[in-house]
Amino acid sequence: MNGGGHDLAYAHFRGIQKSCKEKKIGIINFDAHFDLRELTDTANSGTPFYQIAKETDDLKYLCLGIQKESNNQELYTTAHQLGVTYLENTNFNISNKKKVIAIVESFMATVDGIYLTIDLDGFASHFAPGVSAPSPFGFSIDIALEVIRFICLSNKLISVDVVELNPKYDIDHRTARLAARMIYNIIDWKLNAS
């Protein structure tokens, strides 16, 4: 787990694939962005899931917290072409918890294991100001923790990363503390699920 750019998701997923050759791995991404930009010159934080899709026969990718304002029509078209499941930030909230959990549960039923990647820029900026692309319309901690806990207790979670922490923009270490607390909870829930 680290706070680097989301471009590390490509290498992370490839490592999981190598170590879990017999398993169908699904990706659950908490993010404001699809990160499905086509690779042109070099990989970057906007390209990892496109790279994975181009090297995977049957991409299983669920993105929670997508913001319309942060993704152009081309990215939505790519997501549809690749069969990406997603939930926009306006529906990714605690009052919609039953529907959110049902979507996550349905997605997890199609795979053997889960790679969970949490992009801190998906959170509302008052929770996570220390990111390069903050947004006041991001999602809340409560729904994120409910879903993360559900994933941890499923016994399908294989690996996790927390990305896009930018200390230069953090205020009172708010974003760093959010990341640390999520990691603590993930470890606690995984230990109790075993």
Measured from the Cβ of residue 8, the count of other Cβ atoms closer than 10 Å reads 16
User: What is residue 76's predicted lDDT score, i.e. its pLDDT?
Assistant: 97
124 close to 176: Cβ distance less than 8 angstroms: no
Tokens of 45: 């934080």
Residue spans per domain, the chain = 8-38+45-193
The residue that leads in pLDDT, 43 or 187, is 187
As assigned by CATH, the class of the 8-38+45-193 domain is alpha beta
The pTM score is: 0.95
- What's the rounded Cα separation, in Å, for the pair 107 and 41? 33
Alpha helices, H only, 32-173: 48-54, 73-81, 97-108, 141-153
- What's the rounded Cα separation, in Å, for the pair 16 and 41? 25
Give me the percent of the chain exceeding a pLDDT of 70. 97
Q: 109-119, pLDDT tens digit by residue? A: 999 999 999 99
Beta strands 113-119; 157-163: pairing state: parallel
Q: 147-184, pLDDT tens digit by residue? A: 999 999 999 999 999 999 999 999 999 999 999 999 99
Q: Could you tell me the CA-to-CA distances from 37 to 20, 27, 85, 98, 110 in Å, in that order?
A: 26, 17, 16, 31, 25
